Structure 1
Amino acid sequence: MAGQGLNSSTSVYVALYGGTAAYAGVLAAVFSGAAAVVRLLSGPLIDGRGRRIVMLFGFAVLIVGTVGPLFTHDVAPFVVFRILQGAGFSAVTTASATAAADALPASRMGEGIGYYGLGQALSMSVGPALALALVSTDPPENLFVGVTAIAVVGLSMIFLCRYEKHPEMLPEEAVYRRRLEEGESEAARTGAAEAAETTTSTEQSRMEGRPKRESIASRIFEKHALPGTLPMIVLSPAFGFVIFFVGLYGASLGVGNAGLFYTLSAVSMILVRLKSGAFMDRFAPIVILPVALACGLVAFAMLVACGTVLDGAPVRDAVFNLSGIVYGFCIGIALPLNQSVAVKNTPPERWGAANALFQLANDVGIGGACVIWGIVNDCFGFPVTICCAMCCIAASYFVARAVYPKE
């Protein structure tokens, strides 16, 4: 809610104090850039230092970034505040995704990540509306009071996340608990042999020199997560169009309430994720993904029709908003499906890096595509831009066929 609210309302707040639209665009890019950098760095920290400490650090940085604007009405320092907001948001979301995977049974990983993703759907439907309402009050700094309060609630919840020191709190089938218990049993069975081997290895190391250390690049970049990451980086530009341009597209068509598109897409996303247990872990990912992508293509085709063949305002508005329902099915399946592929294909001790790489791909795909979509739209118009986004949806299927695990 904090991240979605800040992204939707910062431009409005900046405009109230004389900032330009171009400057608001710079602030959006700064947020995305800071989030991308921190995702790369937080992955190894999550795997090495733990999930809870990274979440605590992330919320602390986010709160500093939301409290800062309360002490100045000058929009110039906002670059610094947006860096802090992006860094904190990125650290929290990466660590929390890893913690969610820890608590799930391996046999229901896809379904569980779908439930975890309900947070995204709820924040999309509540965060922007709440933030825009707050920034419209007097004074507009109420926006940052509200967002800070939300972040403080999140920070307090982190103190309940104690499973890393007390794994017995987790269900017996949880991946994190089973991994620790299996490791302890193996250590007990082979303790003497390992001690002897360690002694021998130590002597060899003294003779041969220090053992090779893991490089920084290998700690940050988790190659096993690529089967879920590569399809996502191809698909995410289509999601980026919806996030940044569907509202503008609806306004250009004269749709009465273009924001209803987002509300309906969030509702359908919630519904499909609540029902994900019926299919997410029972069928191969390459069987499920085409269904999601077909929904995406239908939704974008409905949007194209709104700007080309539908002239009547009532029909056009209805088709425009109903496309949000179909789009919600697409993102509600495709996003957790690809994330579960990335996580399942990665050793549990590297889940932090896997989630960081996956979410980085999502950030890069969405952020980078927005620049391209803006240029294409200025040159050729919305229908052509939407068709290009449909090409991304289709291409993601062929990428998935090439990189998804066989089993």
Structure 2
Amino acid sequence: MADSAHVASDDEAIEGEVARASAASAGRAAAQPRLWTAVFVLIVLLTFCCFVMGQGLNAGTSVFLSRVGYGASLAGVLALVFSASAAVARLVIGPIIDAGKCSLVMVAGAVVLLAGTVVPLAGQGVALYAASRVLQGVGFAMATTAASTAAADVLPRARLGEGIGYYGLGQALAMSVGPALALFLAGTDPASNLYAGLSLVAVAGLAVSFFTRYERKPLALPETSAFRERWERAERAKAQVAAAESRAANAEPQAAAAESQVADAKGRPSEPVKAPAAKPAKAPSFFEPRALPGAIPMTIMCPTFGFGIFFVGLYGTQIGVANASLFYTISAISMIAVRLKSKSFMDRVAPIKTFTVAVACGLVTCVMLYFGPASDYVFYLAGVFYGLCLGISLPLNQAVAVKNTPPERWGATNALFLLMNDVGIGLASALWGFTNDAFGFGVTICLVMVCLVASYVAAWVFYPEKDRAWR
């Protein structure tokens, strides 16, 4: 009997340990909600396709124009056309996305981007190239703004910064594949193969966009995701309204009878009670000022990326680098590495501290590019620090902007953030084109360094106080 009791006691102890382990496991699972849902993977894939298009068109256009007889100045002007078109489009589509049309905007953007890539295949001429850049800018803005908002919508709240870092993997991969593919295609005969090849990527992005309609299955999203929480609040509100209407419908006959009795008792007819006038619906705002603390430092830094995206390939070709596209491949590997490590710092380290590292990497990139003619290896190695700079700063500042605004305004937030990025890249790229033709790439690289320092000063000025805490 004693042995049996001892065995039973051991069994109970084992069961207790198993229960405690299960509870601890459940607690850890609850503390770490699922990040990589099917729809999030599709959004990352769509982003990859869109940025292959965007980065490829931006890097390849200057080489294409050079091959057909134009200079860097036209490439800079067309870069401004692309960015201005994207900026205007983002102003319009932000409120549309916030109105619940995020998936629709993604599909429409993919269609317009495809159209803009096909147009140059119809003929040549500055007017035709400008029209194609307008369509490319509008389509790129629509698809990427909607995808950024969708990513924030489907990520669990506790892992939002980490998730945005992983979301940038699509952009990081595109930084390698897009420019490298574009430079290869633009170097073949005819040079218009650039647009034929990238059109196939656009078709793939359009196909993916049809499967990213997360609004149809909100219960498949993490419990703390912004879209699911908004959907559940809306459903509860609908249920409360229905219940109130039901109670009002049941109470109406009794209220009418009571009112009739009161009127009879007073000897005068009763007047119906008027419902309070409904307040006019507030028009959606195109501008979300709470996104500015993250948007302003990024905008000032964007000329760095404008130079990298539009002109590093051309710069490497002119100084005789054997394989200029390798810069983009190396930078992409660097970005992927830092994005995969974003869990360790994105939601844990003070943003100003992280941004310091990004700016330092950008300055190192400029110094190495300046001395790029001395050695191909110096030019290639600059891609490592360029990738770190872009891989850290873009999701970091986007997270600052998003966390500083309410979820129902994330469409306008992402629209403003990306709009200001487009403005920073476009204006600077037009300037870089003229500077390159007039003074050479060395002067341009020095001006890029000035922009990096200015962006760091802006972060100290505009970041919220909690994000400037050096802890």
TM-score band (shorter)? 0.7 to 0.9
Q: What secondary structure does 1:219 align onto?
A: coil
State the distance in 1 between where 2:123 and 2:423 align.
31
Counterpart contact for 2:165–2:342, Cα < 8 Å: yes
CA RMSD of aligned residues (A): 2.9
Q: Which amino acid aligns with 2:348?
A: R
Query: Is 1:61 the equivalent of 2:127?
Result: no
Question: Hey, what's the Cα distance between the residues in 2 that align with 1:47 and 1:263?
Answer: 36
1:399 is aligned with what amino acid? Answer: A
Deviations 1:371-406 (A, max 9, x none): 333455566654443333222222222221222223
Q: What's 2:139 paired with?
A: 88
- 3-state SS of paired residue (2:223): coil
Q: Measure, in 2, the Cα distance between the counterparts of 1:300 and 1:19.
A: 26
Q: Distance in 2 between matches of 1:80 and 1:381?
A: 29
1:277 corresponds in structure 2 to: 343
Alignment deviations for residues 127-175 of structure 1 (CA, whole Å, 9 cap, x no partner)? 2222343344455554433322221211111221232122012122322
Once the 2 structures are TM-superposed, how far is the Cα of residue 58 of structure 1 from its aligned partner? Answer: 0.9
| Structure 1 contact 19–75 (Cα < 8 Å) conserved | no
Equivalence for 1:405: 464
Whole-Å separation in 1 of the counterparts to 2:455 and 2:391: 16
1:129 aligns with 2:180: yes
Q: Report what 2:425 is aligned to.
A: 366
5 Å-filtered alignment, 1:152-231, equals 152-185=203-236, 203-205=275-277, 211=280, 213-214=282-283, 219-231=285-297
Q: Is the 8 A contact 1:7 1:28 kept in 2?
A: yes
TM-score by length of 2: 0.74
Query: Kindly tell me: are residues 335 and 254 of structure 1, through their superposed partners in 2, closer, same or farther at Cα, counting changes over 3 Å?
Result: same
Gap change, CA 1:379 and 1:19, over 3 Å in 2? closer
Superposition map of 1:98-117 within 5 A: 98-117=149-168
Residues of 2 paired with 1:95 and 1:39: CA distance?
A: 10
Q: CA separation in 2, counterparts of 1:375 and 1:9?
A: 18
Matches of 1:143 and 1:106, distance apart in 2: 40
SS in 2 for 1:129: helix
SS across alignment from 1:257: coil
Q: 2:304 — aligned with what? A: 238
Change (3 A) 1:368 1:67: closer
**Contact 2:76/2:433 (CA < 8 Å) preserved in 1?**
no
Alpha-carbon separation, structure 1, partners of 2:444 and 2:195: 35
Once the two structures are TM-superposed, the CA of residue 194 in structure 1 deviates from its matched residue by 11
Report the secondary structure of 1:258's partner residue. Answer: coil
Going from structure 1 to structure 2, the CA distance change for 1:45 and 1:292 (only over 3 Å counts) comes to same
Choose from 28, 33, 37 the match for 2:79.
28
2:180 touches 2:325 (CA, 8 Å); kept in 1? no
Between the aligned partners of 2:277 and 2:155, the Cα distance in structure 1 is 39
Post-superposition shift, 1:195?
A: 11
What is residue 27 of structure 2 aligned with on the other side?
Answer: none
Q: How far is 1:82 from its partner?
A: 2.3
| Structure 2 counterparts to residues 30-49 of structure 1, below 5 A | 30-49=81-100
Match of 1:322 among 381, 386, 411: 381
Aligned partner (choices 389, 393, 408) of residue 349 of structure 1: 408
Whole-angstrom CA distance in 1 between matches of 2:160 and 2:245: 32
How far apart, in 2, do the equivalents of 1:17 and 1:141 lie?
10
Amino acid at match of 2:170: G
Structure-1-length-normalised TM-score: 0.85
- Paired with 1:270 and 1:43, the residues of 2 have a C-alpha distance of 28
**Cα pair distance change 1:388/1:282, threshold 3 Å:** same
Q: Determine what percentage of the aligned residue pairs are the same residue.
A: 57
Tell which deviates more after alignment, 152-161 or 350-359: 152-161
Partner of 2:448 in structure 1?
A: 389
AA partner of residue 400 (structure 1):
A
177-186 or 148-157, which moves further after superposition?
177-186
Offset at 1:337?
0.2
Give the Cα separation in 2 of the matches to 1:73 and 1:379: 26
Is the CA contact (8 Å cut-off) linking 1:66 and 1:148 kept in structure 2? yes
8 Å Cα contact 1:17-1:75 kept in structure 2: no
| Aligned-partner Cα distance in 2 for 1:52–1:236 | 27
- 1:28 positional shift: 3.0
Match of 1:199 in 2: none
Following superposition, the deviation at residue 7 of structure 1 comes to: 2.5
Aligned pairs, number: 389
Larger radius of gyration: 2
2:357 to 291, 300, 303: 291
SS class of match (1:301): helix
Do 1:342 and 1:354's aligned partners in 2 also have CA atoms closer than 8 Å?
yes
Query: What amino acid is aligned across from residue 175 of structure 1 in structure 2?
Result: A
Distance 1:262 1:382, change over 3 A: same
Report if the CA contact (8 A) 1:300-1:386 is conserved. Answer: yes
Distance apart, 1:93 and its partner CA: 0.8
